[in-house]
């Protein structure tokens, strides 16, 4: 099942590839200098109805040296058959793009991380035809946040760290450190990262701890029930008769519209005036939710409206 924690754990790499730093550090490789990193389509479907979709695929083109792909998979538990899927992803992406592939599994608990490291082998007897060994990004190699000044310097990495260590006994202390560090950020930036973290912690026992720590308003992830969204919707309902569903629906629609445009902007997807007008004119919540989900992977704004 796709959860908010799952989505946040890989989507953060699409918008903020700087959080790849611990991957390169753990591999003993210097981060690619002046590299161009772009998100590619995660669709690995070949023949319907079989559909395979990598969580996030990034193409790294350093200013010096050969380019490569990073296939990111957010894994919150052991999943039967996942090793076969991962082997397929690596082979497919290698064949399609003609570039070497680094498979990275993002895990937030040590048992899952240990399992995800593989190797996942295709063998007959003693002969191994194929072996897939993901690189695991998890509690063992993502440092815990112990300095609130680090949050202001690297909010993306701090957010990822808090999510990865959300099952740790130190999770409440880590979240407290992150909350204090975010006070140094401007309001818009702090709001943005606070919501990333709340959505990323949705399926963890410390989500309520974080909700007690965040004190800001407005929304970025519509329909996720975050503190920001609740505050925003309450504000939209102010001055209206209590219990009027249309007022709340209007607030939700506006919140979702803003979120769609915000995601497209952050992902540098151009939006024409006509497309912007179409999005802002829509008031149907189901349609807006569909468009928001598509905005997370769309390569053009028009991809939001494609009938599938």
Indicate whether 31 belongs to any domain: yes
DSSP 101-124: EEEEEE-SSHHHHHHHT--EEEEE
Instruction: Supply the pLDDT for residue 225.
Output: 56
Indicate whether 250 belongs to any domain: yes
Residues 133, 19: Cα–Cα separation, whole Å: 21
Final residue of a structural domain among 83, 104, 137: 137
Instruction: Supply the pLDDT for residue 243.
Output: 47
Kindly indicate the confidence band of residue 239, based on its pLDDT and cuts at 50, 70 and 90.
Answer: very low
Whether residues 63 and 26 share a domain: the answer is: yes
Whether residues 32 and 123 share a domain: the answer is: yes
Kindly indicate the confidence band of residue 256, based on its pLDDT and cuts at 50, 70 and 90.
Answer: confident
Q: What is the pLDDT of residues 85-120, one digit of tens each?
A: 999 999 999 999 999 999 999 998 899 999 999 999
Whether residues 160 and 101 share a domain: the answer is: no
Averaged pLDDT for residues 42-48? 57
Instruction: Supply the pLDDT for residue 204.
Output: 81
3-state secondary structure of 3: coil
Indicate whether 142 belongs to any domain: no
Kindly indicate the confidence band of residue 229, based on its pLDDT and cuts at 50, 70 and 90.
Answer: low
Averaged pLDDT for residues 142-151? 87
Domain total of the chain: 3
Instruction: Supply the pLDDT for residue 231.
Output: 55
Indicate whether 21 belongs to any domain: yes
Whether residues 130 and 178 share a domain: the answer is: no
Strand 101-106 and strand 36-40: the pairing is unpaired
CB contact at 8 A, 115 and 101: no
Say if residue 3's pLDDT is above 60: yes
Final residue of a structural domain among 80, 106, 137: 137
Whether residues 68 and 164 share a domain: the answer is: no
Nearest Cα residue to 42 out of 112, 120, 103? 103
Averaged pLDDT for residues 243-268? 72
Kindly indicate the confidence band of residue 219, based on its pLDDT and cuts at 50, 70 and 90.
Answer: very low
Indicate whether 225 belongs to any domain: no
Winning range, highest mean pLDDT, from 20-34, 50-64, 187-201, 273-287: 273-287
| Residues spanned by the domain of 163 | 148-216
Whether residues 164 and 61 share a domain: the answer is: no
Instruction: Supply the pLDDT for residue 218.
Output: 38
Indicate whether 291 belongs to any domain: yes
Whether residues 9 and 128 share a domain: the answer is: yes
Q: What is the pLDDT of residues 155-191, one digit of tens each?
A: 889 999 999 998 888 888 888 888 888 888 777 788 8
Residues 200, 112: Cα–Cα separation, whole Å: 17
Indicate whether 101 belongs to any domain: yes
Kindly indicate the confidence band of residue 16, based on its pLDDT and cuts at 50, 70 and 90.
Answer: confident
Mean pLDDT, the chain, rounded, equals 80
Instruction: Supply the pLDDT for residue 55.
Output: 87
Worst-scoring range by mean pLDDT, 86-90, 126-130, 206-210?
Answer: 206-210
Instruction: Supply the pLDDT for residue 237.
Output: 55
CB contact at 8 A, 167 and 108: yes
Residues 96, 65: Cα–Cα separation, whole Å: 20
Final residue of a structural domain among 82, 107, 137: 137
Indicate whether 73 belongs to any domain: yes
């Amino acid at each position: 099942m796709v959860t908010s924690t799952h989505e946040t754990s890989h989507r953060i790499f699409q918008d903020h590839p700087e959080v790849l730093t611990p991957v390169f550090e753990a591999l003993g490789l210097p981060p690619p200098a002046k590299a161009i990193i772009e998100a590619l389509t995660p669709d690995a479907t070949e023949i319907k109805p079989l559909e395979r979709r990598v969580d996030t695929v990034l193409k790294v083109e350093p200013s010096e040296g050969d380019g490569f792909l990073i296939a990111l998979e957010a894994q919150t538990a052991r999943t039967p058959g996942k090793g076969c899927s991962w082997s397929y992803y690596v082979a497919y992406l290698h064949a399609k793009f003609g570039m070497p592939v680094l498979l990275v599994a993002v895990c937030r608990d040590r048992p899952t991380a240990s399992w995800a490291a593989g190797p996942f082998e295709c063998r007959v007897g003693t002969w191994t035809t194929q072996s897939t060994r993901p690189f695991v990004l998890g509690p063992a190699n993502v440092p815990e946040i112990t300095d609130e000044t680090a949050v202001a310097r690297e909010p993306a990495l701090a957010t990822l760290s808090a999510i990865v260590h959300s099952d740790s006994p130190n999770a409440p202390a880590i979240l407290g450190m992150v909350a204090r560090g975010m006070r140094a950020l401007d309001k818009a930036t702090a709001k943005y990262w606070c919501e990333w973290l709340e959505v990323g912690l949705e399926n963890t026992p410390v989500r309520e701890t974080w909700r007690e720590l965040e004190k800001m308003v407005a929304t970025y992830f519509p329909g996720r029930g975050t503190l920001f969204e609740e505050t925003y919707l309450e504000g939209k309902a102010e001055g209206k008769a209590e219990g009027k569903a249309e007022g709340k629906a209007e607030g939700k629609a506006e919140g979702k519209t803003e979120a769609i445009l915000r995601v497209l902007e952050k992902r540098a997807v151009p939006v024409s005036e006509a497309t912007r007008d179409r999005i802002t004119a829509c008031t149907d919540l189901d349609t807006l939710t569909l468009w928001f989900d598509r905005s997370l992977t769309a390569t053009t704004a028009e991809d939001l409206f494609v009938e599938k």
